[in-house]
Structure 1
């Protein structure tokens, strides 16, 4: 396997050849000059952002080769590039693309080398979903920040910009130049199963300001940010991965609520906007999802909002975009609607050939493709990808997970932790009065490679602060036997901390909290995902919201429990009463301190 220095040298001649007309003219003329030499097949390829299995572009593990053959008809990323000439590649952890930073950088360089070695080869725009919080494709030792709703609870524009700038620097060091973040949806529906804490909150103006700042941070780092999911996925109880959401907002409500963050993103120079696979009848009564809607994408996004950057679909394998049309029609209709990048179609060969055939048959013109390809090439030029497609061999060690970045994540987490309930007051706890702590509760599977299950991370952090804390995982659906075991263990503790995740009225997690409280031991709940959990936990004396379960957020919660830092977060969403959802239990902006 050649080193990244060798890869850089091997591609230098090809890279130099891309500098059409010389460096002085590169910014203005290079994308158009590259477009002029492309074949129709080259142009079709540029429109696609493809997935591929494996940690290496040429030597993946056998299981990944088998998966690629089954799903894509090729063995490796290099073979995929040779066959389809994709303009982009998306990384997923489940596809084994993101084992560790050095491997990611090597994979990125391998992909670029494979593409640049093709006739008329162009650099590939590599992307991923690194939202932070509950959606992360790249884990430790990369810096993992609190997610959007946590940042919304902190309310700091500086923090949002810092997150984008640091996260962008680390992504760029690994060869990832496009990030599908920030989420620009305004989460006004507590039952939203797919957005929730991925949103900055329920206040459209606050969300707009934070979206613009985070996008600006990414732009400063030389990475394309992506505002998603246009025209707004925040008021739905249906997940577009598995169903077809319908947004019933009037045009006036949409303008006031959903449009504001996208307007702000556009004003901030957002590089790309992702479509949502959802139906908004007030914007287009045809019944088509927004991804396939000319009135939504061209009429509203392009013409009404004045956006001329890259539009990328959400993943085309999601149910929301496949409900009305077949997989062969979806990519063609998306392009007719105004899309530029076609993300992760379920059958790449079928989709690629469908677009090619649509041009050959006259349904799409080559001039239409030219418009999107030129946008994509201009984005690559703006990111410096056409001039420097390879990673810096020394950047991974120098940039990714550096101590200053990790410390910034910890500081942001401290400013976002929200104290919702504190009867007595119970908090802060002291090792002198409550030396023995039991940490029980939900341990949602980490999407980001944290150091352990939330109960274990929280117990370790409390122990480091002078307590003797024991962890006991009871899960998100504890059985009667598990609850009884936790109650017995609580008898040996001076206080109990219980983590919760997506509690409902009938949830066994509520039963666990009630049974723990009945022991007479003081109980502190830590909602590690939705702050709405607090409405279903009336028996606990104290409740914190962390909005996710990254190490930084859990350690910040431990410091708040111990009183070494004061809680400063404020609810970025209102919490409704469990017994009367029409009434608020805690309003937007609620948050206690010591």
Structure 2
């Protein structure tokens, strides 16, 4: 009897050792495991519980410049999939690099060691969330004006290299909205042009450049923000395009880029009632995300939402409800900027659902699989963006080597001569230089030493507008020419009152030149598309006749802009 008990005990012990060994092997699975893509994905997903899966579909913003205990807890406890770097996080590049390194270390210290997707908006030109010493580029519309895929590729490459240095491995760029509506001012110079094929060509080149820097590109704002007349940050734009129009315009860049292996797409908070039969935004609408993007267009990559805090997503619903609807509609990664209190409400709602609703669990599982596949494909590459930013030890990586010369030459290639009467102006001309941007004013003085500067305020009411107008009219006789910076409606309001000075006013347009539509009396106009030193240098050089501009207008100047006082 004793002999049987000993034998049975040995068998049980052996079985226990075997089971322990098997369990240990499973627990040793991590993101860094040396497995092929599909095997690693399967292993990770099999090890993840409901809440770990849910964490992967969340990309959260954080408050302040440093990694607070709150965001570190979200990374360590909830194991969120990503972090979004906003402008308020990026005032100091050294602090930003340290913060990203700390957050990645927290993610890598979790049992499965799954790193974070760290994203930002560094489109170039107008939108540049990470400032400091990073490159100020002429922007997408400048690339459209030169028309060169080389310019798009190099822009993506240089921006990608700078983000890589900071540990940022995803960029919400390029913007491939087709600039169809002159009132789409939230898009404006962020678009390449009004030509969908050119937009697709340049968008592809841009993403290939970032890809070669190891950064994940995210084309936006699907299905297209370029025909909207409202800003989805503050409201839900209702776009009356039908399916045929959308297929022939807005969707073409996405189709082209998907064929080239585009890894991620950001959906916009945009409603198309003539296509869906309702005003549910694309971010929450399975017609766009599942039927059109997945089934019809064959996109297999990552679908990210625009910030769910934006009003375009929350119309008649809470933030938590909007997040649930978006996942059910087909989104993979929910971008939620702030605040921690709202993050908790979202988590409470979704974590309850994932246990109670099997269908919702399967939806989250599939979304997490898309997130993890993107991470495996990009963050395990030989040239993957380092988890610990290079900028911590090498500050020479920003701005990227060679970027300054490239972006100046690109600004010059894109400079466009729109109207010509009295230009070029002599260097010795007596000039009044009027504009909002300090770079414009002081660069103008460099080119025309015998000049006076008039600062145009950022904002002004009707009374203040007339004070500006009267000041210019009173001084006009003292100058040969008036070089005016035109970049926004406020500038247009002033210029509408200066038609009596048609022989003197020279426009240096920056950002979008669309405002010239409402100024047919302007006889001299040069367009640049950025607001940095390189762009204004190129623009003034063209006005002075230092070179002949070769850029082509990327949008037509033939549609008047409604002007409201």
TM-score relative to the length of structure 2? 0.87
Cα separation, 2, equivalents of 1:286 and 1:496: 50
The equivalent position to 2:50 in structure 1, one of 20, 32, 40, is 40
Asked if the contact 2:166/2:391 (under 8 Å) is kept, the reply is no
Q: Measure how far apart 1:196 and its partner are.
A: 1.9
**Judging changes above 3 Å, is the alpha-carbon distance between structure 1 residues 392 and 580 closer, same or farther for their aligned structure 2 residues?**
closer
Aligned equivalents of 1:380 and 1:400: distance in 2? 25
Contact 2:431 2:450 in 1 (8 A): yes
The worse-fitting range, judged by mean Cα deviation, of 489-498 and 309-318 is: 489-498
Map of 1:369 onto structure 2: 364
SS of match in other structure, 1:187: coil
Between stretches 44-53 and 493-502, larger displacement belongs to: 493-502
Q: Secondary structure at the match of 1:348?
A: helix
For residues 561 and 395 of structure 2, the distance between their equivalents in structure 1, rounded to whole angstroms, comes to 53
* Structure 1 residue aligned with 2:171: 179
Distance 1:579 1:166, change over 3 A: closer
Distance in structure 2 (CA, Å) of the matches to 1:487 and 1:558: 23
Deviates more, 1:211-220 or 1:484-493: 484-493
Q: Is the 8 A contact 1:186 1:232 kept in 2?
A: yes
User: Aligned in 2, Cα 1:395/1:172: closer, same or farther, shift over 3 Å?
Assistant: farther
The worse-fitting range, judged by mean Cα deviation, of 176-185 and 118-127 is 118-127
Structure 1 position 193 matched with structure 2 position 185: yes
Aligned partners of 2:73, 2:525: CA distance in 1, in Å?
53
Q: Is the 8 A contact 2:468 2:494 kept in 1?
A: no
Q: CA deviation at 1:550?
A: 2.2
For residues 469-514 of structure 1, what are the alpha-carbon distances to aligned partners after superposition, in whole Å with 9 as ceiling and x for unaligned?
A: 4322123545222333334444443322111222489823422x43
What is the RMSD computed on CA atoms of the aligned residues? Answer: 2.5
| Residues 377 and 504 of structure 1, relative CA distance in 2, 3 Å threshold | same
Q: What is the aligned counterpart of 2:455 among 473, 480, 485?
A: 473
Aligned to 1:428: 424
Residues 577/370 of structure 1: CA separation in 2 closer, same or farther (3 Å cut): closer
Other-structure match for 1:50 = 60
Match of 1:228 in 2: 220
Please name the residue that 1:546 is paired with.
528
List alignment gaps of at least 5 residues for structure 2.
1-27
Q: 1:329 is paired with a residue of what secondary structure?
A: helix
Q: Per residue, is there more helix in 1 or in 2?
A: 2
Superposed CA offset, 1:188-244 (max 9, x none): 100113212211111111111111111111111110111111111111112111111
How much does 1:576 deviate? Answer: 2.2
Aligned to 2:81: 87
Deviation at 1:49, TM superposition (A): 0.8
Corresponding residue for residue 499 of structure 2? 514
TM-score after normalising by structure 1: 0.83
Alignment of 1:74-473 (within 5 A): 75-93=69-87, 95=88, 97-344=89-336, 347-362=342-357, 364-384=359-379, 388-392=386-390, 396-423=394-421, 426-432=422-428, 434=429, 436-441=430-435, 443=436, 454=437, 456-465=438-447, 467-473=449-455
Q: Deviations over 1:430-481 (max 9, x none)?
A: 214x1x322103x2xxxxxxxxxx2x32233244346334322123545222
In structure 2, do the counterparts of structure 1 residues 35 and 389 end up closer, same or farther at CA, with 3 Å as the change threshold?
Answer: farther
**What's the counterpart of residue 551 of structure 2?**
569
Structure 1: runs of 5+ lacking an equivalent: 1-15, 59-74, 444-453, 582-594
| Structure 2 CA distance for aligned equivalents of residues 529 and 254 of structure 1 | 26
Moved more, 471-480 or 384-393: 384-393
Q: In terms of Rg, which structure is larger?
A: 2
